[in-house]
Structure 1
């Protein structure tokens, strides 16, 4: 098994950006330009590495390789995005890698790209790139190519060496478990479980028992402020300061069901969003499957028009620096969640409002900004499901 934290360090130490890896301060696939640039780099890295993995490291300063981190990103539908825009799409995964010096919620993102051995190209137009375009890596740049298009294997041995030096060992695994329980989450209820005598999953959170039948007739237990890590690979599987999560385990699987809190006029309830199941195999491999089970609440359109227009007025007031009444400040706290409900009920501009005003909200109130990011995350999952 590869320790992904060591892999990131080895990539950064190996060389500057090159034909098998790129680095970014952040990804912005919520906007058209950011999505197009991301797809361009994925296409170029896949074509330049037909027989080995290639990588994008997210949360690193370009000039000096300083690890600054990025927001936790759990878009399990990123493969769907790539499939929608690329012909001969590569296999792609996004993993969140914790580093000890980063604050809570900040990680290094690791995008792993595995070509299917065929020429990858844009399927349709996006931003300023035309459908049919083919990209390759030229040093640290992803460049279009229109002649002499051949995919060549030039990096397999180099990448294999880097991955070999990032192999995990029992010392790193034990240190990871002890650090997770005794240091990172010493004030939370923490657990660990070993699967197939090889894999160690740790999880922590604030527990809440409810009077609902759970496994073997016991009370159901939900976790909030949840952090889950696959210790062997130093991968953070889940992190949330807001939502509630149900966790189930057996000898072969570890599964989470995430719930989101939604509603209007103080009538809110928890809705199941997504179930993620990790199945561990005897041969030292594992498979992760995600199923979106979300059924959004539906509301009267007249009521939602009133909510939507009120939110728009509040955003303009915040933008102009105008003072807000106590009632308006309360409405701002609920603004991301109510915009989310509007978007789920057919108000197409609601998501655009959240994207457009995210910087203004971040400056206004960090807790509201955290709710905004959660709302955008839900919309992203629903869109690419």
Structure 2
């Protein structure tokens, strides 16, 4: 159900369960709750528990009607497209695509073409009908592939030592739209980390650790130290991806130390940690 008066980026998920004298459970995964979860009242809160339950479509017609009403609200959809293109991202290259005459995807970003391949940075992609943000990043670059039924996003990360940096595909997210008014989102991790000579990485790792000690002791940094600090998020990440397990903990510590001193480097640390989380969880 649309809630048009919410602040930008806020969405409400509403689940209504009517009593029918039988057990009610979630059919599929929703947010952090697993399909098959049953909720029991314990004191002032409801606690989820998982059971092997055969679910039956008792109120599927009602649910379908509500979902269809939300999708077919043309006014809200048009308002969302106009707001996305003309207001939120008026300074970026933006576009939209309609799928199955029901779903509208808008995307915006800085566009560039390299060897006949189009890439976007500062990217924002949203499924307007359902107020779902599919992708957002101020740093990474992506490519987009569109077919009649699908919208696929390939995310790249810029990694390397010194000036020898290259773009590596990180993850592909594909959305497939069906004729019956439904869609599926599937993701696939594509990342293969670059490999480097272990002696070189060991030297870089030690340099970063010495810099970390200076930050912990609140010592004055030299010009060379400040240059190394700018590179630390990427070099710690590469060390970890090449088998230096301690690099993750060192990265966390350094990130907290630079938070109030160097916001740009702090944001780069957060981005490196985001890549690590995605690689580990996938």
Q: In structure 2, what is the equivalent of residue 205 of structure 1? A: 109
Q: 1:303 aligns with which of 200, 209, 212?
A: 200
Runs of 4+ deviating beyond 3 Å: 2-11, 135-138, 140-144, 163-168
Change (3 A) 1:191 1:143: closer
Q: In structure 2, what is the equivalent of residue 139 of structure 1? A: 44
Q: 1:371 aligns with which of 264, 268, 272?
A: 268
Say if 2:153 is the partner of 1:249: no
Change (3 A) 1:194 1:143: closer
In 1, the alpha carbon distance for the partners of 2:238 and 2:29 equals 33
Change (3 A) 1:303 1:50: farther
User: Aligned pairs, how many?
Assistant: 263
Q: In structure 2, what is the equivalent of residue 269 of structure 1? A: 166
In 1, the alpha carbon distance for the partners of 2:170 and 2:3 equals 28
Q: In structure 1, what is the equivalent of residue 78 of structure 2? A: 174
Cα distance, 1:8 vs. partner?
A: 4.2
In 2, the alpha carbon distance for the partners of 1:298 and 1:137 equals 52
Q: In structure 2, what is the equivalent of residue 103 of structure 1? A: none
In 1, the alpha carbon distance for the partners of 2:191 and 2:166 equals 13
Q: 2:29 aligns with which of 65, 71, 91?
A: 91
Cα distance, 1:242 vs. partner?
A: 0.9
Q: 2:128 aligns with which of 216, 220, 231?
A: 231
Kept after mapping to 1: 8 A contact 2:240/2:246: yes
Which runs of 5 or more residues in structure 2 are unaligned? 18-22
Corresponding residue SS for 1:330: helix
In 2, the alpha carbon distance for the partners of 1:4 and 1:255 equals 27
Corresponding residue SS for 2:70: coil
Say if 2:230 is the partner of 1:333: yes
Q: In structure 2, what is the equivalent of residue 65 of structure 1? A: none
* Higher normalized contact order (CA 8 Å, seq sep 6+, divided by chain length): 1
In 2, the alpha carbon distance for the partners of 1:280 and 1:183 equals 27
TM-score (norm 1): 0.61
Corresponding residue SS for 2:239: helix
In 2, the alpha carbon distance for the partners of 1:249 and 1:288 equals 14
Deviations 1:188-208, CA, capped at 9 Å, x for gaps: 000000000000000000011
Cα distance, 1:140 vs. partner?
A: 3.9
Cα distance, 1:176 vs. partner?
A: 0.8
Cα distance, 1:3 vs. partner?
A: 4.2
Larger radius of gyration: 2
Cα distance, 1:365 vs. partner?
A: 1.6
TM-score (norm 2): 0.81
In 1, the alpha carbon distance for the partners of 2:75 and 2:109 equals 25
Q: In structure 2, what is the equivalent of residue 80 of structure 1? A: none
In 2, the alpha carbon distance for the partners of 1:320 and 1:150 equals 56
CA RMSD of aligned residues (A): 3.3
Cα distance, 1:342 vs. partner?
A: 0.6
Say if 2:31 is the partner of 1:51: no
Which runs of 5 or more residues in structure 1 are unaligned? 15-19, 21-48, 54-89, 93-110, 120-134, 212-218
In 2, the alpha carbon distance for the partners of 1:355 and 1:150 equals 40
Cα distance, 1:142 vs. partner?
A: 5.7
Kept after mapping to 1: 8 A contact 2:175/2:186: yes
